[in-house]
Structure 1
Amino acid sequence: MTDLILAASSSGSGGGAGGSWLTGLIDWTVSLMDVIGPVGAGIGIALENIFPPIPSEIILPVAGLTAARGSFTLVEALVWTIAGSVVGALLLYGLGRLLGADRLRKAAHWIPLVKVEDVDKTIAWFEKHGGKAVFLGRMLPIFRSLISIPAGVSKMPVWRFTLLTAAGSAIWNTIFVLAGFFLGEKWHIVEQYAGILQWIVIGVVAAVVVWFVVVRVRAAVRTKQWQEPGD
């Protein structure tokens, strides 16, 4: 089964040297499923939360495919992958709690174009809308992992964070596990559509970053011109 999965993932990702290390990670995760069953899928998804380049869009369908072949049940695949999502998210949540708002405010003094007020506004926004952000963020590439850190920084109650993470992860994981379960050897089709979503998210994030930099640079230029003598 491992050879079949690797061949499909290589064709889906376009191959090349850039994918060799990723293929190795996928190979290792698939081997875990072969050896220790659904627990291996849970470990793979936990690692995906901590290290986003590991693609859940491959691990989850593979777990569904493995369940379809009878290595373990569909329920086991769902339970263990959701558990893995929660464990990985809690580790990043703990990192956010350890980092804390005070350290972020101090770091803001040293980051170009970033103000201390930005940290305070972000925390205030998260305290107001954090529940929706955590739940919906679990269903978006990149944000699936990163959303856990501001939740920790803002000190969202751990029980609430855990429930929201489990609920959002249950939706995302179920879609991909079922895709692998019902599509069988054609499971990699879903990876292609997930890749489109990922690029959309990356494009939106890039646009927001560019907008932020342009606005701050213009503001800095105006401030400098205002402070220059003779104006």
Structure 2
Amino acid sequence: MDPLGYLVEWIAIYGIFGLFAIGFAERFLPALPSYGVLVTIGVAADDDVWSLHTAVVGTTIGSSIGAFGLYLLARGVGKKRTTALLYFVGRWIGLSQPRIDWTMSSLRARERALTILSQLIPTVRLVSPVAAGLLGTSALRFVAGVSIGIVLWNGLFITAGYLAVIAIPGINSSALALKILILLVSAELLIALVWRLQWRYSMRSDLGVSK
């Protein structure tokens, strides 16, 4: 069984539009494992369904437009309603309110760098466009930063799938995605620990408490 492989077969029917659509959809469907889909797209690139370059460009454009849509939504709906929605979605995807607040505080303090880096952190990458909209990040800066981050994220996993099928012909895409999930979860737990320590240190500093 290879459910991700079946999904990519459907995407392949629509070519570049399918790549665009899946990149766009992952912004609004947190349950869709973007890393797994991207890895499988990379596997398919070796089967001449599409080129590696086309896969990265198509998914990046779709995901960037989706992220910009969330950014505009946050700017248009208003701070109070958007913040409530952000907390609700955060609970659904496993982000606590303090972690969301820390994300927003970090974006405010180091806007340019963290707009890029936030796209490389699972779950955080889904809420960062909304956070940027709430903080009033300029549209040009947001688009530039988030696009770079998405290119890095998409390129990493698509290339991983492409190289994996070269090394192991006939590899099961879903099994490969599961192994990558384990690595991602481990990395996210480590990042969450570091962020929590930084947040506690920041809170102590704000209260004037010595370490």
TM-score by length of 2: 0.70
Task: Tell me: CA distance 1:71–1:147, structure 2 relative to 1, closer, same or farther (3 Å).
Answer: same
Contact 2:27 2:66 in 1 (8 A): yes
Return the match for 1:84 from 57, 62, 78: 62
Two-structure CA RMSD over aligned residues (Å): 3.4
In the alignment of these two chains, the number of paired residues is 180
1:55 aligns with 2:42: no
Aligned equivalent of 1:158: 139
Aligned equivalent of 1:13: none
- Deviation digits for residues 75-98 of structure 1, max 9, x if unmatched? 111110111220121121122112
Task: Tell me: CA distance 1:182–1:54, structure 2 relative to 1, closer, same or farther (3 Å).
Answer: same
Aligned-residue offset at 1:61: 1.4
Structure 2: segments with no counterpart, 5+ residues = 86-96, 204-211
SS in structure 2 of the partner of residue 147 of structure 1: helix
Contact 1:133 1:147 in 2 (8 A): no
1:97 aligns with 2:75: yes
Aligned-residue offset at 1:194: 3.3
Task: Tell me: CA distance 1:172–1:106, structure 2 relative to 1, closer, same or farther (3 Å).
Answer: closer
Aligned equivalent of 1:136: 117
SS in structure 1 of the partner of residue 145 of structure 2: helix
Asked which structure has the greater CA Rg, the reply is: 1
Relative contact order (alpha carbons < 8 A, sep ≥ 6): 1 or 2 greater?
2
- The residue type equivalent to 1:193 in the other structure is I
Aligned-residue offset at 1:131: 2.1
1:192 aligns with 2:192: no
1:146 aligns with 2:124: no
TM-score by length of 1: 0.65
Aligned-residue offset at 1:205: 5.3
SS in structure 1 of the partner of residue 176 of structure 2: helix
Q: C-alpha distance in 2, partners of 1:136/1:122?
A: 11
Q: C-alpha distance in 1, partners of 2:103/2:153?
A: 26
- The residue type equivalent to 1:146 in the other structure is V
Q: C-alpha distance in 2, partners of 1:195/1:44?
A: 23
Query: Aligned residues: percent identity?
Result: 22
Task: Tell me: CA distance 1:93–1:202, structure 2 relative to 1, closer, same or farther (3 Å).
Answer: farther
Structure 1: segments with no counterpart, 5+ residues = 1-6, 10-22, 108-113, 216-231
Q: C-alpha distance in 2, partners of 1:64/1:73?
A: 9
Aligned equivalent of 2:16: 38
Aligned-residue offset at 1:160: 1.1
Contact 2:119 2:150 in 1 (8 A): yes
Bigger drift between 172-181 and 198-207 goes to 198-207
Q: C-alpha distance in 2, partners of 1:144/1:191?
A: 20
Aligned equivalent of 1:64: 42
Contact 2:56 2:154 in 1 (8 A): yes
Contact 1:49 1:144 in 2 (8 A): no
